[in-house]
Structure 1
Amino acid sequence: MRTTKDRIRHTLGFELIGLVVFAPLASWLFGFELHEMGVIALAGSIIATVWNYLYNLLFDHAMIRIRGHSHKTPMIRVFHALLFEGGLLLLFLPMIAWHLGVSLVDAFMMDITMAVFYLVYAFVYNLLYDKVFPIPGIHPGQATAER
C-alpha cells in the first residue's frame, strides 16, 4: 500500500502536469481565452485533487480487501480511471455551464472532451508513476502471477 507522502506526491504531480497541458490545449480547442479555461482547469484541479486522494485511498483499500494487494493490472487501471472520471463529469458540468455562460449541452460536450483527455492522461500517468515509484514489496508481474 502507498504511504500518505507517496499519495500526496502522486496527486500533486498529476494535477500540476495536467494543468500545464490541459489549460492551453482547451483554450485553443474551445476558443476561450486562456484565463477562462485556466479558471475552469484550476477549479477542477482543486476538486479533483481532493477527490483523487480520497478515491485512490478508498480504491486501494477495496483492492486489498478483494484481492489481498493494491497492485493494479491494466484492466483494473481502465476501470479505476472510468469510475474516477465519471464522478468528476457530474461535478464539473454545472460549473462549466455557469462560468463560461454556455448551455448545458455545450458544457456537456466540453466536459466529455475534458473527461476523455483526463481519462487517457490518468491511465498513462498512473502506469508511468507505478514504474517510476513502484509500491514497496511488489515486483512487476508478481501480483499478476498470483491470480
Structure 2
Amino acid sequence: MRSTPDRIRQAVSFEIIGILIVTPLFAWVFDHPMGDMGVLVVLGATAATAWNYLFNLAFDHILLWRRGDVRKTIPLRIVHAVLFEATLLALLLPIFAWWLETSLLTILMMEASFAGFYLGYAFVFTWGYDTIFPPQGRERIA
C-alpha cells in the first residue's frame, strides 16, 4: 500500500497538472472567460483532490482485500478510471450548474467533456505515476 505522503503527492500533482491543461483549453472550447473557468476548475480540482485521496484509498483496500495486492491490470485501470470519473461527475454537477448559472443539460454536456478529458488523463497519469513511483513491497507494479 502507498503511504499517506505518497497518496497526497499523487493527488496534488494530478490536480495541478490537470488544472494547467484544462483551464485554458476549456475556457476556449466553452467560450467562457479564463477567470470564470479558472475558478470553476479550481473548485472542481479541490473537490477532486479530496475525492482522489479517498477513492484511491478505498479502491486499494478493496484490491488488497479481494486480490491480496494492489497491482492493476489494464482492464482494472479502466474500471478504476471510469468509477472515479462517474462518482466525481455526480458530486460536481450541482456546483458547475450553480457557478455558471446555466441549464443542467448544458452543464451535463460540459461535465461529460470534463469527464472524458479526465478519464483519459487519469488513466495516463496513474500509469505514469505508478511507473515513476512504484508501490513498495508485495504491491510493486511489474
Give the structure 2 partner of residue 53 of structure 1. 53
Match of 2:25 in 1: 25
The whole-number CA distance in structure 2 between the counterparts of 1:32 and 1:140 is 41
- For the 8 Å contact 2:60–2:70, the answer to whether it is kept is yes
How high is the TM-score relative to the length of structure 1? 0.93
Displacement, 1:140?
4.1
Q: 1:130-141 residue pairs with structure 2 within 5 A?
A: 130-137=130-137, 138-141=139-142
- Which ranges in structure 2 are unaligned for 5 or more consecutive residues? none
Rounded to whole Å, the distance in 2 between the matches of 1:129 and 1:108 is 30
Q: What does residue 125 of structure 2 align with? A: 125
Between the two proteins, the alignment pairs up a number of residues equal to 141
Residue deviations 1:80-135, cap 9 Å, x none?
A: 01111001111111111111121111000000000000000000000000110011
Check conservation: 2:135, 2:141, Cα contact below 8 A.
no
Residues 71 and 140 in structure 2, CA contact (< 8 A), matched pair in contact too: no
3-state secondary structure, aligned to 2:125: helix
Q: 1:28-47 counterparts in 2 under 5 A?
A: 28-47=28-47
CA deviations 1:24-57 (Å, max 9, x no partner) are 0000100000011111100001111111101100
Q: 1:38 to 1:65 in 2, by over 3 A?
A: same
Question: Structure 2 counterpart of 1:115, which letter?
Answer: A
The whole-number CA distance in structure 1 between the counterparts of 2:140 and 2:8 is 22
For 1:3, the equivalent position in structure 2 comes to 3
CA distance in 2, matches of 1:91, 1:61: 22
Deviation track 1:53-80 (CA, whole Å, cap 9, x = no partner) reads: 0110010000000000011111111100
Deviation by residue 1:2-30 (Cα, 9 ceiling, x = unmatched): 11111011011001000010110000100
The correspondence of residues 48-87 of structure 1 with structure 2, limited to 5 A, is: 48-87=48-87
Give the ranges of 4+ consecutive aligned residues of structure 1 lying more than 3 Å apart after TM superposition.
138-141
Unpaired stretches in structure 1, ≥5 consecutive residues: 142-147
Aligned mates of 1:69, 1:90 — CA distance in 2 = 29
